[in-house]
Amino acid sequence: MARLGSESKAGFYATPPYELELLLQRILPEEGNKNGDCLSYFLYDPCCGEGEALLMIAQALQGPNRSVITYGSEIEAGRAEEASRVLDHVIHDGYQRVRAEAKFSLLWLNPPYQTNVDGERAELSFLRALTDFKKGVLQKGGLLLFCIPQYVLTDTAGLLSGRFRDISVYRFTDEHYDNFKQVIVVARYERAPRGEQTRMYRALQTLGNGDRTLLPTLEEVAPFIVPSALSTEPPYFRRDALDVEELNKDLECSSLFQEMRKSLVPTSNETKLKRPMLPLKPAHMGIALAAGAVGGNMGSHSAHCS
């Protein structure tokens, strides 16, 4: 408990590896086709801390003919630096200032456990922004793993039931549950029929207002499938504000920019002219001299003024 308490800084609560391991024992990547084509999985953690949780998820999905790419954003500089060592792409900034496409197979969401200045739970704000049908990051059918305190289910029941289907909720084991009363919601990003939405909303409200006895532990997780990416093209993932380093990387990868560079930037400081087909007239020679295309030495003779 002491270690968990020491990691509860700025609303950041690291998920105990033991609890996450229980969950990942039941994770199943989508099976590939008979042709053996490589499947891509894009994973995102919008408050990734030091990247440990998303790294564990990625390792559980890795295997033959699978490409697993991890993306994270973290507002605290020290944790962002640590995360950049273990994740493929990390942005040091808040999730609100990250531009990303709805191409992610899986969203691991363990937001700050706190109330915003406007009175709304931070967990609800994260969920609303990241799963918006127009500006969210999950692909259709993508998987949400949502780690929150059990009582926050009452605040998030409307969004979860309105935007997701196949929803399951599991609590931490007794060893860790009492610290923050955490649960993990496993859900598929796809709108359910109206009747199912109503039933799930009521069920989530009941669970949020109840105690631990209403929920199975992570030791009882049913197998769940992580879908492969619908597109093999990696998602756009950039900081909202212009970043010089990111711009340089984009330009280096741009074929149009490389063609412009060839046209505008000389490859050598020395300019060589081909031998003209006809003798240059004085006007042509003057232009060439002014442009620096030829030196000032016009021959071996010496000019004399009388």
Amino acid 6: pLDDT? 37
Residue 255: pLDDT band (50, 70, 90) is confident
Task: For residue 258, name the pLDDT band (cuts at 50, 70, 90).
Answer: confident
What does the pLDDT look like over 196-210, one tens digit per residue? Answer: 999 999 999 999 999
Average pLDDT (241-245) is 68
SS3 212: helix
| pLDDT tens column, 153-187 | 999 999 999 999 999 999 999 999 999 999 999 99
Mean pLDDT within 31-54: 89
pLDDT at 2: 35
User: What is the number of other CB atoms lying within 10 angstroms of the CB of residue 248?
Assistant: 10
CA dist 300 and 239 (Å) reads 62
Q: What is the DSSP letter of 95?
A: G
Q: Is 104 helix (H, G, I), strand (E, B) or coil?
A: strand
* Average pLDDT score over the chain: 88
pLDDT given for residue 223 in this prediction: 96
pLDDT, mean of residues 213-235: 96
pLDDT at 7: 43
Nearest residue to 144 via CA among 96, 110, 117: 110
Q: How confident is the model at residue 84 (pLDDT cuts 50, 70, 90)?
A: very high
Express each pLDDT in 117-130 by its tens digit: 899 999 999 999 99
Asked if residue 301 has pLDDT above 60, the reply is no
- Give residue 33's pLDDT: 63
- CB of 172 closer than 8 Å to CB of 147: no
Query: Would you say 101 and 229 are in contact if contact means Cβ atoms under 8 Å apart?
Result: no
Contacts 24+ apart (CB under 8 A), 22-26: 22/173, 22/217, 22/218, 22/219, 22/221, 23/145, 23/170, 23/184, 23/218, 23/221, 24/56, 24/57, 24/60, 25/221, 26/221, 26/222, 26/223, 26/224
Contact 71, 93 (CB under 8 A): no
pLDDT confidence of residue 297: 60
pLDDT category at 151 given cuts 50, 70, 90 is very high
pLDDT per position as a tens digit, 1-19 = 333 443 445 556 789 999 9
Give the Cα separation of 44 and 108 in Å (integer): 6
- pLDDT for res 253: 72
Q: What is the pLDDT of residues 217-227, one digit of tens each?
A: 999 999 999 99
Looking at residue 4, its pLDDT comes to 41
- What gap in Å lies between CA 43 and CA 54, rounded to an integer? 8
How far the first Cα of the chain sits from its last, in Å, is 101
pLDDT of residue 155: 98
Strand partners, 15: none
Tell me how far CA of residue 287 lies from CA of 45, 264, 302, 306, in angstroms: 61, 20, 22, 27
- Domain coordinates in residue numbering, the chain: 2-241
Tell me if the pTM is above 0.95: no
**The predicted structure's pLDDT at residue 306:** 45
CATH superfamily of 2-241: Vaccinia Virus protein VP39 (3.40.50.150)
How confident is the model at residue 242, as a pLDDT? 66
Q: What is the DSSP letter of 300?
A: S
- CA dist list (Å): 93 to 72, 124, 243, 270: 10, 19, 12, 46
